[in-house]
Structure 1
Amino acid sequence: MEGFMSTKYIFLDIDGTLLSHTYGISKGSLDTLVQLRKNGHKVFVCTGRSKAYVDDYIHKLQFDGFIYGAGAHVAYEGNDLFMHVIPREEVEKMIEFFRAYNISFILEGPNYAFHDESALKIFRDRWVLQISDTPYLSLHKLADERILSVVSYPDMTEEINKISIFAKSDEDLELIKDNFNANYHLILYPTTSSCEIVGEGINKASGIKHMMRHLGGDLKDCIAMGDSMNDYEMIKECGLGIAMGNADEKVKAIADYITESVDNDGIAHAMHHFGLI
């Protein structure tokens, strides 16, 4: 296929796109990142994770910029371009609501993530299991000082970009929708009874637009790659939207191209297919 001659802006999701929870980040993906930049393209992380949840290994891969928190926080070459903050009084109201209905939650910011007791246990248990089963993931271990209990939140000045929810049932998700959908963007994952809450109008595509305004680039020159529902808007709105082979079916349905899965070097396959490397 004929290659792109002009600079392209490539936005990569982390989990399920760049990072396999089976194999970590493949050598094929790492080599692709290097070659893309050598060929004059700019490469960005565009993740649902807040900055506190992005590990040092990924931060050191020399990406041109990062979009964190599903579009809530945009940084280029280490400088913040945009950060949407959920007002503290709203966060405190949400904490009361989640506790009243026994809904597990994580408050995510640029420096720290605050977990309720259940979420902290889930995080610790899953991490220990993943590290023991998949040694490659040890490269992506988060610093313990970033992962805090929510009891620390009132005494700290950390701003919150995103809230992650682990509900007990679809009924809990409906309850969250009824209470927060009017004023926030809810990204729902019904199969796991979980969701992400960010500010109204915030999504990965809006984050990319902030980045492009800063760079003087055009959305038509952007390429988005992802696999889950928080990737939906960027895959739909960028000039080229690529779904991973392991992507949610709703994401595949609006993608311009479906590549191989994350476990089968989907990033490298797509970049070869479109002549970028």
Structure 2
Amino acid sequence: GVYCAIATGRAPFMYKKLREELGIDSFVSFNGQYVVFEGKEIYTNPLSEPELARLHKHAEQNDHPMVFMNHEEMKSSVPDHDHIEESLGTLYIDHPSADASFFKGRNIYQSLLFCEGDEIEEYREAYDSFDYIRWHPVSCDVLPKGGSKAEGIKKMIEAAGLKMEDTYAFGDGLNDIEMIREVGTGVAMGNAVPETKAVSDFVTKDVGEDGLSHAIYELGLLK
């Protein structure tokens, strides 16, 4: 048979309904920082709280808001900000309620830092224990250094007793590159960014053209 799981940059609470609809209880969240296998948490890689506190203080001085996420919820460092509204709105997510100290005493697996263009370089140089991935003109993901969907998938594959060379991954974004490169067969969607297509083994049709189904049959996973 074929074992199915989800690997995403999103937090578990953002796609709970989808998992229930699909009957999937194994997933890689926060771009690899939180892994659940058959309903059980098997791997966590939170951000360093002292470093996150320093980053938050620095961002506050620059009037750059942040959002902090654990596996259950997310909170904003400010009650209201256009950049948060604008970027999260593209994901159909409302502006989170404010709690600037939410990261204290909790495992925060991903943070969002809201700044434009090259403004992120100031933080990249000052706090190099984090990786910064821009996903919107005014927003960047903040992740533990070296964390990726690929690393999370490795943990799940170990738990399942499977091999990476027998694993297939499907993706379209910049945060899918490591995953597409590391698995046995990496599939880029037709609508994927050029960088992801470049490292893939197979490019399928667009998501809107049933690209996932097309690839599954083309690769012989289903007949």
Asked whether the two chains share a fold, i.e. TM above 0.5, the reply is yes
Task: Measure how far apart 1:125 and its partner are.
Answer: 5.0
Partner of residue 173, structure 1:
120
Structure 1 gap segments, 5+ residues each: 1-39, 131-140
Q: Does 1:82 align with 2:43?
A: yes
Q: Distance in 2 between matches of 1:149 and 1:264?
A: 39
Task: Measure how far apart 1:201 and its partner are.
Answer: 2.1
TM-score (norm 2): 0.88
Question: Which of 186, 194, 197 pairs up with 2:132?
Answer: 186
Question: Which of 85, 92, 104 pairs up with 1:121?
Answer: 85
Contact 2:154-2:164 within 8 A present in 1 as well: yes
Q: Which amino acid aligns with 1:175?
A: E
TM-score (norm 1): 0.72
Partner of residue 160, structure 2:
215
Alignment of 1:1-277 (within 5 A): 40-52=1-13, 54-60=14-20, 61-116=22-77, 117-118=80-81, 120-122=84-86, 126=90, 147-151=96-100, 153=102, 157-168=105-116, 170-180=117-127, 182-189=128-135, 192-277=137-222
Contact 2:87-2:139 within 8 A present in 1 as well: no
Contact 2:55-2:123 within 8 A present in 1 as well: no
Q: Distance in 2 between matches of 1:253 and 1:125?
A: 29
SS in 1 for 2:63: coil
Q: Distance in 2 between matches of 1:218 and 1:124?
A: 36
SS in 2 for 1:42: coil
Q: Which amino acid aligns with 2:122?
A: L
Q: Distance in 2 between matches of 1:100 and 1:152?
A: 16
Q: Deviations over 1:104-156 (max 9, x none)?
A: 322111011112332553367556xx5xxxxxxxxxx78x9xx43233616x7
CA-based RMSD of the aligned residues comes to 2.3
* Higher normalized helix content (fraction of residues): 1
Structure 1 pair 199–126 and aligned structure 2 pair: CA distance change class (3 A):
closer
Q: Distance in 2 between matches of 1:247 and 1:225?
A: 10
Q: Distance in 2 between matches of 1:82 and 1:251?
A: 26
Structure 1 pair 42–86 and aligned structure 2 pair: CA distance change class (3 A):
same
The percentage of aligned residue pairs carrying the same residue is 25
- Larger RCO, structure (CA 8 Å, separation 6 or more): 1
Q: Distance in 1 between matches of 2:23 and 2:99?
A: 32
Of 207-216 and 83-92, more deviation after overlay is shown by 83-92
Structure 2 gap segments, 5+ residues each: none
Q: Distance in 2 between matches of 1:185 and 1:125?
A: 23
Task: Measure how far apart 1:203 and its partner are.
Answer: 0.5
Structure 1 pair 93–104 and aligned structure 2 pair: CA distance change class (3 A):
same
